[in-house]
Chains A and B, each alone.
Chain A
């Protein structure tokens, strides 16, 4: 009899525990489904502010690769412009030259406004500085150094490919302006027939930025990374932001 009671008690305990476990599973599935539905909803906040760091600005390459523009940078790798056979070729031959031009990348702040779940407008302000050393042509001794700073203002249209609470994919297109002050602000273009030297003023110019793909992680406080090409950066930009 005792053994029968024991068996019954064990069976009862198993039944209760099994019932309880299956109840738990059902509750968890329901919670997950609810969570998934919740996560699929787009973020509700309309505004966000971002801090960003970008890789090398295309504007820099455009300015500093022998003044030819970035597309000639490729050509310049294989081809050196011959020194003209003019009256001053010795001066040119042994003139000072520059070491690598470096930049810390563009540091920027941006603001987005979500017009609807799939479209935002944004504006980016960014600043970057450049520096390089100057060397004597004959002795290769350090002769000095130069620096320059560029500011960018870039309004952008931002298209959300996917807008979820914790993950968002987007692309953007921007057109704006760059203001530069520093070395090579004026770059030599040509000497006209009257002997007047003509310069190109690089201090203010239009600029653009194409970002085919970018991703944001997080909810209110989020991180982002994007790939693109243009005046602000060529390569990658990333940073953190806050939605409000």
Chain B
């Protein structure tokens, strides 16, 4: 009988030890997801706007002409307000945003762009909203990397963003994310932890 019951005991132990087939857990609400979504708000508002006006300047368009108004892709409207100064508003399926852009022209064509009064909103009505603001100015400068075989120039940003997530539109902020860009390098932290300074998988 011992020979029969031993396998049964082993099977019972095995069944108990393996009764969880999936650990579950909240895979959506994490520091990683919050940071990803915050970055996307920055990308869809500020980065896209600066890229659009910078491209117009490099294409030789007279962006300082009186009454200059231009529509860029992704629903961005650029309106000149002063010499080297533009108001930008935008709306697409995901976000509504506004900011002011100021240019410091450079002789070599590598202009410096300063964004202020940045606001971006993603609204889902009763399901909540996410709001991005910039804490101070966001400055875009050209970073040039030179090696023996190539020269690479990129327009990179420096500045601090704060993103707030409201799961209930009538309640207090549910989560927040701080994004700190320094010449394109990102450091960040969130209300769900997960401080980091590089792209990582959670």
Task: Name A's B-contacting residues (CB within 8 A).
Answer: 52-57, 60-61, 64-66, 73, 78-83, 85-95, 97-105, 130, 132, 135, 137-138, 166, 217-218, 221-225, 235-240
**Distance A82 CA – B5 CA, assembled complex (angstroms):** 49
Partner of B15 from A78, A105, A137, A224 at Cβ < 8 Å? A105
The answer to whether B24 and A94 have CB atoms under 8 Å apart is no
Task: Name B's A-contacting residues (CB within 8 A).
Answer: 3-8, 10-12, 14-15, 17-30, 32-34, 36-37, 40, 44, 93-94, 122, 124, 127-130, 165, 167-168, 174, 201-202
Known: A61-B22, A87-B124, A92-B28. A104 touches B15 (CB 8 A): yes
The answer to whether B18 and A105 have CB atoms under 8 Å apart is yes
**Distance A137 CA – B20 CA, assembled complex (angstroms):** 21
Of chain A, the residue at the smallest CB distance from B5 is: A223
Known: A83-B36, A105-B15, A130-B21. A89 touches B8 (CB 8 A): no
For the residues of B in contact with A, the DSSP-based class is mixed
B19: chain A residues within 8 A (beta carbon): 56, 102-105
The answer to whether A236 and B10 have CB atoms under 8 Å apart is yes
Shortest B202–chain A CB gap in Å is 5
The answer to whether A94 and B21 have CB atoms under 8 Å apart is no
Q: Pick from B7, B20, B94, B128 the residue with the most CB of A within 10 Å.
A: B7
The answer to whether A224 and B7 have CB atoms under 8 Å apart is yes
The answer to whether A53 and B12 have CB atoms under 8 Å apart is yes
Known: A224-B7, A238-B8. A85 touches B40 (CB 8 A): yes
The answer to whether B124 and A88 have CB atoms under 8 Å apart is yes
Known: A93-B37, A97-B24. A223 touches B174 (CB 8 A): no
The answer to whether A137 and B26 have CB atoms under 8 Å apart is yes
**Distance A65 CA – B22 CA, assembled complex (angstroms):** 6
Of chain B, the residue at the smallest CB distance from A95 is: B28
The answer to whether A217 and B32 have CB atoms under 8 Å apart is no
Q: List 15 A-B contacts (CB under 8 A).
A: A53-B8, A55-B11, A60-B21, A64-B22, A82-B33, A83-B33, A93-B33, A100-B22, A101-B24, A104-B15, A105-B18, A217-B6, A223-B4, A238-B7, A239-B8
Of chain A, the residue at the smallest CB distance from B37 is: A89
